[in-house]
A = this chain, B = another copy of it.
């Protein structure tokens, strides 16, 4: 399997074998890191971080991944310090930046931006989130965390909670899980259910899907609890926001009825969906996820640049 020079735009474009291949390579990289081996595979290579929308976590994760591999980064962390202010199109910015860099990481406000960038760039493009669209490396790190913690992805009960309507993380994750044989529980307020088209996409697959409004109905059978933030900016009014805000807060009381080896994931940043008291429990794996994200991005960069 060869990933050299390939664009990573959407998790939908990756076959199950390809996902598995990336996860294997991630485990390989993590092993090298643990053994403190020389991993400067990408010496002399440059990554361009084009972040038209701020994101500490994703931007720093890619920067750290590239630098740990001996490479370098350039870029910007919000649009207004760029030529955008002078009216340049994304296509032109990309055709410029690809001259300076070996790989481009793009975060953009508009869905489809990464696909367009990939059309204009000779350097491979990684989508780091395009509006309500895709964020494939988030999904890969979610899957890597599940596999690392549970030893497999198949035959698990995975419960996804929160704003399932707008959360791009959730759409990508459910799509990816549908390539495996899991039981997927979707827990959300009525108004924030998974969009019908995403639901249709995953219905005719190996995975079973169930919808709930109340987390209590499925918490006890859950192996992986995936919590997401209900973003305030998605609501038309403060009133609407406050109505559901507290619906799905994970605290120690809730943890009394879970499997002893259940793990909790969250794409972060969290606001108050998970109480701080949960952080120190054995269930909490959401900060490990950020480390796993670093590893997965290291593997992916090494693959796209033909280094492993």
A residues lining the B interface (CB < 8 Å) = 40, 44, 46, 48, 54-57, 60-61, 63-64, 67-68, 72, 74-78, 80-88, 91-93, 95-97, 99-101, 229, 231-232, 268-271, 276, 287, 290-291, 294
Bound Cα distance from A270 to B61, whole angstroms? 32
Other-chain residue from B57, B78, B92 in contact with A96 (beta carbon distance below 8 A): B57
CB atoms of A99 and B294 under 8 A apart: yes
In the complex, chain B residues whose CB is within 8 Å of the CB of A229 = 86
CB atoms of A81 and B78 under 8 A apart: yes
Bound Cα distance from A48 to B97, whole angstroms? 20
CB distance from A45 to the nearest CB of B (A): 10
CB atoms of B46 and A268 under 8 A apart: no
In the complex, chain B residues whose CB is within 8 Å of the CB of A92 = 268-270
- Closest B residue to A36 by CB, please name it: B44
In the complex, chain B residues whose CB is within 8 Å of the CB of A101 = 64
CB atoms of A76 and B99 under 8 A apart: no
In the complex, chain B residues whose CB is within 8 Å of the CB of A86 = 229, 231, 269, 271
Bound Cα distance from A85 to B271, whole angstroms? 11
Known: A56-B93, A60-B100, A270-B88. A46 touches B68 (CB 8 A): yes
Bound Cα distance from A88 to B231, whole angstroms? 12
Bound Cα distance from A82 to B86, whole angstroms? 22
In the complex, chain B residues whose CB is within 8 Å of the CB of A96 = 56-57, 60, 268, 287, 290
In the complex, chain B residues whose CB is within 8 Å of the CB of A78 = 81
CB atoms of B55 and A83 under 8 A apart: yes
CB distance from A255 to the nearest CB of B (A): 19
In the complex, chain B residues whose CB is within 8 Å of the CB of A84 = 56
CB distance from A71 to the nearest CB of B (A): 9
Bound Cα distance from A134 to B142, whole angstroms? 39
Other-chain residue from B46, B60, B99 in contact with A74 (beta carbon distance below 8 A): B60
Known: A67-B74, A72-B67, A287-B95. A294 touches B100 (CB 8 A): yes
Known: A88-B270, A95-B287. A74 touches B64 (CB 8 A): yes
CB distance from A174 to the nearest CB of B (A): 22
CB distance from A306 to the nearest CB of B (A): 13
CB atoms of B88 and A67 under 8 A apart: no
CB atoms of A64 and B100 under 8 A apart: yes
Known: A46-B68, A61-B100, A287-B99. A76 touches B76 (CB 8 A): no
CB atoms of A81 and B75 under 8 A apart: no
CB atoms of A63 and B74 under 8 A apart: yes
Bound Cα distance from A231 to B87, whole angstroms? 10
CB atoms of A60 and B75 under 8 A apart: yes
The CB with the most chain B CB atoms within 10 A, among A61, A67, A75, A270, is that of: A67
